[in-house]
Amino acid sequence: MRTRFLSCLLLMPAMLCGQADSSVRLKVMLGDGRTVLGDIDITLLTSVAPLTVANFLQYANRGAYNNTVFHRSVPGFIIQTGGFILAGNDFTTRVPQDPPVRNEYNISNTRGTVAMAKLGSNPNSATNEFFFNLADNSSNLNNQNGGFTVFGRVANASSQAVVDRIASAPVPSGVFISPWDAMPLFNYRGGTPGSANIIIIQSITASDPPPSISSNGVVSASAFGGGRSAAAGSYIEIYGTGLAGTTRGWADSDFTGSVAPITLDQVQVTVGGRRAYVNFVSPGQINVQVPEDIPAGNEVPLVLTFNGMNSAPVNIAIRPFAGGLLAPASFKVGDVQYVAAIHDSTKKFVSGGNIRDVDAAPAVPGETLTLYGIGFGPITPGVPALAGRIAQGVTALTKPVTIKIGEAEAKVSYAGLAPGLVGVYQFNIEVPANAANGDQPLTVTQGGEAIAQKLFLTVKAGQ
């Protein structure tokens, strides 16, 4: 939608297209804990199977794959794991399953790839079990059951050697019943197998550290003032390292109808325990919209999750109102920060000619200007909701604003959500007939309190 694109322009920095894949390490050993077979490094293909990678990491990060057995080995085909946990000599306990993940077949099942197992009659039935392709299995696995989703690759030769070592372990006939009848056994000499014969994944660790939020790394949207507090529906920016693996903003395809996404490329953020709406992701910056129903007047914890790993909590102050007008850094000339006001008649920005790449077009008394803002609190009617929904129709602030240009009060003909945008307020104001000439302070007061920004507007009066 054009309006959603405008929202991106208002709220997000310039973006580059890109995708980064992470990696994990599987420590493989025998079940008695004394013999290490080696490590298998896997590059996770977030760029082609984001849902499947996220599903895998949810299991891995909570330790669900610890001590899981390689329960199936088919020579020249696959080795499979992730389904059963070894405890003592017992290997029949199933790994607790999460809901199935949608099939994301994109990459061919060639030697060295890692793919999800699933039920034979349902393409979207993959949960916890996965397998390593020992050969080029593309001729059948790419075509069966919607194609088997490859979500990783064995990262290096030493890791592939460990995979091949597991595959070389014999599969004795008639020792176990299904589904363990193809289980490889190491150093098996007959009789009842024990833990010393069973090959397990002792642990899976991320090669990448968890996301880290910088000190003082949470602020309201910089283009709207960049304050240290926020209100319900405000946009906030989170700065740090390892915050995401991609660089992009939300797109139409990320929305469910008119509802904004709470997950974007495996990034989630909670504010006060409630899911925020994720507007922009990059390794060093995340932008989110604060959800509603968070008690105002206190600091609440913010936690960022990426690839199933959580950041340390960082507190942010939530206020009933934390208003700010669109005034990007490009509209600052020397020490003067100009507001990004738009002429209603021409749709051009107001400027005295001193803002780079903006034509001279000062405001004149009697004309209508449009301003955009965030953080101005509840609206009426309250449907659709303030946060996470595309605004529709005419709304009004429950707590009105007063806007002055210099000493003259402007008539506010509209003060509500901008239709077609998400959480952005629109103010239509009339430049007062008695507005003074030149750069005039533009002040906004709500509930008897002025917003923190010190803004200016260029007026051409008395001509």
Predicted confidence (pLDDT) per residue in 372-404, tens digit: 999 999 999 977 678 999 999 999 999 999 999
The pLDDT value given to residue 15: 34
Among the residues of 29-135, which ranges form H helices?
Answer: 50-61
How far is residue 126's CA from residue 49's CA, in Å, rounded to a whole number?
13
The pLDDT value given to residue 142: 93
- What dihedral angle (degrees, nearest 10) is formed by the CA atoms of 426, 431, 436, 437? 90
The pLDDT value given to residue 156: 83
The pLDDT value given to residue 11: 56
The pLDDT value given to residue 300: 96
How far is residue 93's CA from residue 97's CA, in Å, rounded to a whole number?
12
pTM listed for this prediction:
0.62
How far is residue 95's CA from residue 93's CA, in Å, rounded to a whole number?
7
The pLDDT value given to residue 18: 34
How far is residue 234's CA from residue 387's CA, in Å, rounded to a whole number?
8
β-pair partners for 403: 444
- Check the CA dihedral 301-275-401-398 and report its sign: negative
The pLDDT value given to residue 1: 41
How far is residue 66's CA from residue 60's CA, in Å, rounded to a whole number?
8
In this structure, are residues 455 and 337 in contact, taking their beta carbons and an 8 Å threshold? yes
- Which domains does the chain show, CATH number per domain? 2-17+209-318 (2.60.40.10), 23-206 (2.40.100.10), 324-459 (2.60.40)
CA distances from 319 to 222, 227, 295, 394 (A): 18, 12, 8, 25
* DSSP SS3 for 442: strand
Least Cα distance to 369 among 395, 341, 397 occurs for 341
Least Cα distance to 127 among 210, 184, 32, 59 occurs for 59
Mean pLDDT by 10 residues, the chain (463 residues): 44 41 87 92 88 94 96 97 96 96 94 94 95 96 94 89 96 93 94 94 81 90 92 95 93 95 95 96 96 91 85 93 95 96 97 96 98 96 84 95 98 97 97 97 96 97 73
The pLDDT value given to residue 111: 95
How far is residue 463's CA from residue 459's CA, in Å, rounded to a whole number?
11
| Token pair listed for 157 | 């030769």
The pLDDT value given to residue 21: 60
CA distances from 177 to 150, 169, 181, 189 (A): 28, 18, 5, 19
Least Cα distance to 200 among 291, 87, 97 occurs for 87
Burial of 90 from C-beta contacts in 10 A (0-12 / 13-18 / 19+): exposed
In this structure, are residues 182 and 69 in contact, taking their beta carbons and an 8 Å threshold? no
How far is residue 210's CA from residue 96's CA, in Å, rounded to a whole number?
24
